[in-house]
Amino acid sequence: MNSLDKQRQRQETGMTISQNWHEKAGVLIEALPYMRRYAGCSVLVKFGGHAMGEQEYVNAFAADMMLLRQVGTRPIIVHGGGPQIGKMLEKLNIETNFVNGLRVTDEATISVVEMVLAGAINKSLVASINAAGGCAVGLSGKDGNLITATKLTSQSENDGQAIDLGFVGKPETVNTAVIDALMGAEMIPVVAPIGLGIDGHTYNINADTAAGALAGAIGATRLLMLTDVAGVKGADGNVISHLTVSEARALIKDGTVNGGMIPKVETCIDAVETGAEAAVILDGRAPHAVLVELFTEHGIGTLITQD
């Protein structure tokens, strides 16, 4: 390659780099109105699933949470950990059973659930956010009486009889004082879905349910339910971008929304009806899903709002 060819190559490379930076600047300009829209607003993110076991994914999520906080949005995270709990129970040779998707939780199991959720998973996620430059604090629903729970029972699909699920609970009351204090200090609360029962027992709470209850109690601008599907699909198989509460209920009633999507939609409905401005069901596996949803014109997933 002669000197003239090298000069041309450098010029072309410089033009490509310049173009890339201009494109990135354009993205920031597009996002700016939405950053202003959510500045000072509370956004509750439910994070969970098998991806929590992949550190690369966790690191990317942590960086997104840090960016939210950096531009003035106030994120709160509620995380799950079902797969990790299952692995630990298997290691300890503790048998586990499910009824209607809920883990039957005896005394031995609840100890493991609390250890994994409020211990290993919670602290690992906190560490990842802090390593990304944030200031996250881990807690469970037991801390500061954040979530008071009552015992949950389930009905058999066969005979409709009530089944004792053990130490499985549902939120009864939510005391947001500790969350308010942390957010007021510009910290990111990371909540494990463990609650203290009015009977003094520790209860395992479904992470989706805990996230919905907390989002309603704090009046979150958005509840973001990160799942492994693109959103709520209509009868034609396409994702529905927006649903009102009435429309969402109608889709459940006619069977369009079915299976595991039903409790997620019901959680969003409950959150919106108890104080959240809106809820979104979106694919958390998509790169920077939270940022795309909040800071772009159309977002992704299914937005659920009041009628």
Instruction: Please state the separation of Cα 75 from the chain's center in Å.
Output: 10
Contact 143, 189 (CB under 8 A): no
| Rounded distance between C-alpha atoms, residue 277 and residue 221, angstroms | 5
Among the four given CATH numbers 3.30.1490.190, 3.40.1160.10, 3.40.50.10480, 3.40.47.10, the one describing domain 38-305: 3.40.1160.10
CA angle in degrees (0–180, nearest 5) for 169-50-207? 20
* Domain boundaries defined on the chain: 1-37, 38-305
pLDDT the model gives residue 1: 55
pLDDT the model gives residue 30: 74
**Residue in 41, 108, 90, 105 with CA at minimum distance from that of residue 69:** 41
SS3 of residue 193 by DSSP: coil
pLDDT the model gives residue 96: 83
pLDDT the model gives residue 284: 86
E runs forming strands in the chain:
42-47, 74-79, 98-99, 102-103, 136-140, 147-155, 162-174, 188-192, 194-197, 202-205, 222-227, 242-244, 278-283, 302-305
| Rounded distance between C-alpha atoms, residue 57 and residue 234, angstroms | 29
For the record, the structure tokens of 193 come out as: 């879905």
If one counts every other C-beta atom within 10 angstroms of the C-beta of residue 107, the result is 10
Query: How large is the C-alpha radius of gyration of the chain?
Result: 22
pLDDT the model gives residue 123: 95
pLDDT the model gives residue 7: 56
pLDDT the model gives residue 300: 87
Q: Which residue do the tokens 């927006």 mark?
A: 242
For the record, the structure tokens of 72 come out as: 């003035």
User: Which residues have C-beta within 8 Å of that of residue 58, sequence separation ≥ 6?
Assistant: 51, 52, 124, 125, 128
| Rounded distance between C-alpha atoms, residue 176 and residue 146, angstroms | 6
User: Would you say how long the chain is, in residues?
Assistant: 307
SS3 of residue 203 by DSSP: strand
Q: Write phi, then psi, for 166 (nearest 5 degrees).
A: 80, -135
> What string of pLDDT tens digits covers the 307 residues of the chain?
555 555 555 555 554 555 565 566 656 667 777 788 889 999 999 998 666 767 888 899 999 999 999 999 999 999 998 888 889 999 999 888 887 777 888 899 999 999 999 999 999 999 999 999 999 999 999 999 999 999 987 755 555 677 888 899 999 999 999 999 999 999 999 999 999 998 899 999 999 999 999 999 999 999 999 988 889 999 898 999 999 999 999 999 999 999 889 999 999 999 999 999 999 999 888 888 899 899 888 778 999 999 9
| Rounded distance between C-alpha atoms, residue 85 and residue 97, angstroms | 12
For the record, the structure tokens of 215 come out as: 């989002």
User: Which residues have C-beta within 8 Å of that of residue 268, sequence separation ≥ 6?
Assistant: 212, 223, 225, 248, 279, 280, 281, 304
Strand partners, 239: 233
Q: Indicate the pTM of the whole model.
A: 0.87
